[in-house]
Amino acid sequence: MKHYQILIIGGGTAGITLAAQLMRKDKSLKLAIIEPSDKHYYQPAWTLVGAGTFDFKDTERDEADYIPKGVEWIKDKATAINPEANQVSTVNAGDFTYDYLIPVPGLVMAPELLPGLPEALDKGVVCSNYTDPEHTWEVLQNFKGGNAVFTQPTTPIKCGGAPQKIMYMAEEYFRKSGVRDKTNVLFATPGTVIFGVPDFAKTLNKIIFDRNILFKPFYAPIKIDPIKQEITFRYSKPGESNCTIMEGNPLGEEMVGAMDINIHYDMLHLAPPQTAPKFIRDSKISIQEGPGKGWVDVDIHTMQHLRYPNIFSLGDVAFLPTAKTGAAIRKQAPILVENLLKMIQSGKLGEHSYDGYSSCPIVTGYSKMVLCEFKYDNERASDPIITKFVDTTKEQYSMWLLKKYGLPFMYWNLMLRGKA
């Protein structure tokens, strides 16, 4: 059975960034990455692909080109983690043991958690930038008016802002293509507000009002009927025992019982429900009960596992009360790296601490973006350099350029090389 000093599960943003930073700090580390995929994707650009302003091919690279020098690539899928035996199992390559484990496999799409979605997704007028952004672009181009519904599930998702980014871009596209005056644009969310940080919510609420976008909070999608082109939402406002449909009812909403609402869609874009991979959920390293059930049980500041001190995690599968974004990984990775290396060298955990920083670049049109940055407790955070020049709470053309050109360059050339 092969043994590694550090074993990383997952060769996505988190896994490659960590491996690159670790090898830059200490080339003598015996390190391996378990990752089955040949291709690596820059997923933040999929919003732009879905709106027809970025080429899908440009979001794809060969995984082999980004595995850092000196790191062994186990091209296989992890199937189980046994933290007591310090052992990871794979489909074909057998079992591996480790001194330190970093499980960062990312999320998996779980459309089966929303009845009707597996039959509907990526076909006809139902689309998702999370699974097939090129299909989203086809749907936008074919749309001739009616109800354009944008929504998200009750599960945690990658980049919580993505379901509304495509909605803003679609709304602008409908104006350009001449169908906006016969279209209802609806953003329905199980959440309570358009965005959790008040400074940014103020800007987004104004955009929604000015552009006549219908916003429905407390709308949790519970099923889809692909034949009738209907989506059913459950009104989830705490303390409410029934729901009333507003006067005028431009969407043609229909009550079903006390709390459920049917809405016909002429196009539907949604983020599918998402979970941690099964081998994470089934392992003892995940939280067994309560709100964090199924997510990796780490200290939210040090990234060290709360029960197994030789395990660290970050990114999408870690139970951290912040948005699951690449920007969060960029700030989490150096903390984990420093704390882990100190532990390897001295047996004591390093003292570096993560404050919950994440950012969500909310594209609000074809040349505008609001750079939403925040940390734990929905407290606004801002890059000191950017804020010298730009008010990031407002829509900015410069931030759009950052999203379309700056961030992809930084991702491929700096972040995945362990330099940013």
Which residues carry out catalysis? 159, 360
Alpha-carbon span 164 to 139, nearest angstrom: 16
Q: Which tokens go with 81?
A: 């983690």
Token pair 């089934």 is at which residue? 282
Taking CB atoms within 8 Å and a gap of at least 24, the contacts of 295-301 are: 295/156, 295/319, 296/103, 300/354, 300/356, 300/376, 301/335, 301/353, 301/354, 301/355
Cα 69-104-58 angle, rounded to 5 deg: 65
Rounded alpha-carbon distances, angstroms, from residue 77 to 65, 73, 93, 305: 19, 11, 9, 22
The CA–CA distances, whole Å, from 76 to 92, 95, 177 equal: 7, 11, 46
Determine how β-strand 31-34 pairs with β-strand 72-74.
parallel
Residue owning tokens 């309560």: 290
Helix (H, G, I), strand (E, B) or coil at 391: coil
Residue 252 CA, chain-centre distance (Å), reads 31
Q: HSE of 142 in the Cβ direction (CA atoms, 13 Å)?
A: 14
Nearest CA-CA partner of 23 in 63, 64, 71: 71
CA distance 18 to 418: 7
Q: DSSP assignment of 173-226, as one string?
A: HHHHTT-GGGEEEEEE-SSSSS-SSHHHHHHHHHHHHHTT-EEETTEEEEEEET
- Max distance between CA atoms of the chain, in angstroms, equals 68
Encode 374-393: b = buried (16+ Cβ within 10 Å), e = exposed: bbbebeebbeeebeeebebb
Interatomic CA distance for residues 331 and 16, integer angstroms: 14
Tokens of 107: 């999320």
